[in-house]
Structure 1
């Protein structure tokens, strides 16, 4: 049985607890990263940004590159389909933004990304994947910044890429590879294939991080035991549950902890989240950003439809406070929600949208369409 790791080493970066917050578009901004970091140790990755957007100084892209004052290890996920842009963007992140870790996205299943040959579609082009990884590593190495990558099993069950991607990443000098145990066609549906993660661990010599279906701290330990991963990546499991990182830190320290907050404690967490958003974005925008989190925080609690709708329309911290005091602070955490999926799931896709002729040549760089400078995606 694999030994449960107590920390994670990514090149020059040592992560106190082998847990990484997955970058999620519109979610993992500076406020949410701070909130999660207040709960437990780990590596907290910024929302994904586009390489072209950064190189061309797109305003929306630059607005996303905001870090909390207490964010000691700046980590950013970068998206791109052009080695030149990716290399230049990596140099900018290291030289101008003081980033300590860069993760490259090769796992996004969103159609607007895959139709350009990006995200989870890109590893099919082994030559292009190698060029992008080598460009990023070359740009980051002089700064001592490790580069990692995140990917999926493949485009679909007939076009798997993860083992080749692992080999290419290792040869390019990548510090670690994270594998989401689903194909692009699956998106977020079905179950993650942890056996594929275990096969990748056996296939490469660099650290492998496992991603997919980690809803509780016990799931993270089970993934380590079943696959031998060096650490885990947590995405949807922490939506409305930032205290999951407290449980994860305890679990990897050998403690058995399962935080079951009362509705009053959840309300306090909601207030802290909104407060941090307002500090970083201003009250109007911060409250608007907070609205999307309400349903996740209240999942399984008895708060009625009217209360949920009102909370999803808050426009000031004062209006939020007035509503939160109406919630029953003593209501117990809904145990039925433990271990259940959170966030989007959806259905598998009958067909992954790809550039014309994309599957015809797996070895070359292939033709690809440049990403838009302001494009953002879900990871």
Structure 2
């Protein structure tokens, strides 16, 4: 870490190594942190686990996404904590502890991009890289009062980043303000797919129904006028005709199979100690068969067709990001797993369909932030960010 202090326990305790960046560029003057899944020249890649860190060795080149930011003039200041192998949404790492959520004291930061979210929310950096497989940027953005994007799948090069599930993993990032967020997007995203202006929005009633209660629902609905000031309301829909629990199982099955393909051989050879939750998920992943995976992949294609049909080329899906504000720290495993299942049922849509979803800090409950998300058609990430900028401006 290249900062003088880390009051929110966001950073991994690596020795301070300067990473060269361009003297000028569109991100000059901005500082950033990087989730410890990404290779950064001069640092190990620890993946949230001490044994991975021990075996990593020092990387000689940075991941392409990191290098693009350095070449644009941003200054790297450190690597941030992640859940083990990124296989959690909580941010409570068994080995390294839990970063502090300054926007929701006593509550989890969310994971797996916990350190990046905590560092950004606390003002230690201007922006930070995370990654999103099942919600690992969107959920922490919601919990920490940040802007966070899951881009269109494949939009940003994710090579030299520890994989979790290869058909879901994407590069994502956090910022506190839309100007900074958009500047980073201009560097990372390239050109949008051609399409008409985004002019309409629909509301996902079944996703809203997964909110924890009426107060959370009221908080999220309070953001509707700000969205409606820039988009024409086009009614409410049932997003999943099969039920969101069924979609969650498609995601969980495919994620688990891919996670075991990526990490199973190492786990079998090293017999590492995993924390609660991560241990059980990898045990389950080891039992998912190729037949299970292929059957889920067929159902996933139907999900993509459904969402693509709902959005067309000019419509946004407006939904809550998470079931509620950040859960309290230290909840028992069953309570947290139940919440995780509810959250995954809300978050799985964009991942299954490969579509961009941005979480915006538009709502609040009990003094804590609660994100509202916009899902856009394929490849319209920069149009989505521009829309978000206008909504955030009022």
**Which TM-score applies when normalising by structure 1?**
0.26
With a CA cutoff of 8 Å and minimum separation of 6, indicate the structure with the bigger relative contact order.
1
**Which TM-score applies when normalising by structure 2?**
0.25
Q: Work out which of the two has the higher radius of gyration on C-alpha atoms and give 1 or 2.
A: 1
